[in-house]
Amino acid sequence: MKKPKIIIIKGAPAWVVTFGDLMSLLLTFFVLLLSFSKITSPQQYVSTFGNVQQAFGLQTDVKIKPAGALDMIAMNPDPNFNAKALEKTLNESVVPRFPPEDMEIIQPEVVRTMDRVTLRFNGDGMFPSGQKLIDPRYYGFLDEVASRAAKSESNLLVEAHTDSRPFRNRLFRSNLDLSAARSARVINYLINSEPLDVNRVLALGKGAYEPVFPNTTKWGRQKNRRIEISFVERMKGSESQNLKQEDAARIQAPGDGKGDSSNQRILPSKP
């Protein structure tokens, strides 16, 4: 018996299948280009692109909620804060209360910026070298500052600075400690001179971390040994109307690893 003859029917070559797939994709691509050419507005583009995503099974409605989002609080400037008028008052009423014999040493100046008016002067006259006690000759000047602060709704910020020369004695281990003690001493004098709201005043000791001039010269070091008394605008619209958070965090220089930092913040207290 003869074996059955097996007939093998050959199909199209393998490359024809690949070629057919390629043509199908090209046709789809050109149809897509044609549909895009008729889009005349961004809204039509978004709608068409969304339809394409849905056709391919892609998710189109994705909502992302940021973790730990912060609520923004509207802060409005104080309409009663007049920096220009305050600058004039300090120049005409406060600066003349400095001891006349020290004017060449302390070289006072009034600086006005966007949210504050600052009275800056050399601290060598008010404080003897290495000490925190205020020279009694400056009581009249501080009384005038306290009087102006009591009449104003501004916050009051006192900053004490030193030069970069190392300092240490039995009372203070560093320039930072000395500057902190001096700023606290000024604030305590002011709140005992006038009934100031202690929530509106702040003392900062910054040591040598904020020089205004290089400490490489005697003149520069003298300029850096300074006291700054700032009348700071109070921002309305928030419960935090004082300046503790804003100014206490302005400088964050490295300390000595023992809890020291570039700022020492001292809240005033009655002695």
List the strands of the sheet with 109-112, edge to edge. Answer: 109-112, 116-122, 226-232, 155-160, 201-205, 264-266
pLDDT band at residue 96, thresholds of 50, 70 and 90?
Answer: very high
Token digits of residue 36: 């895009």
Residue-wise pLDDT for 193-225, tens only, equals 999 998 999 999 999 999 999 999 999 999 999
Contact 138, 124 (CB under 8 A): no
Q: What are phi and psi of 23, to 5 degrees?
A: -65, -40
Instruction: Compute the distance between CA of residue 8 and CA of residue 39 in angstroms, rounded to an integer.
Output: 53
Residue-wise pLDDT for 116-133, tens only, equals 999 999 999 999 888 899
Token digits of residue 14: 């393998």
Q: What is the pLDDT of residue 202?
A: 94
Instruction: Compute the distance between CA of residue 42 and CA of residue 46 in angstroms, rounded to an integer.
Output: 6
Q: What is the pLDDT of residue 81?
A: 74
Mean pLDDT on 63-74: 53
Say what angle helices 14-37 and 42-55 make with each other, to 10 degrees.
150
Instruction: Compute the distance between CA of residue 117 and CA of residue 229 in angstroms, rounded to an integer.
Output: 8
Mean pLDDT on 148-165: 93
Average pLDDT, the chain: 78
Residue 155 pLDDT exceeds 80: yes
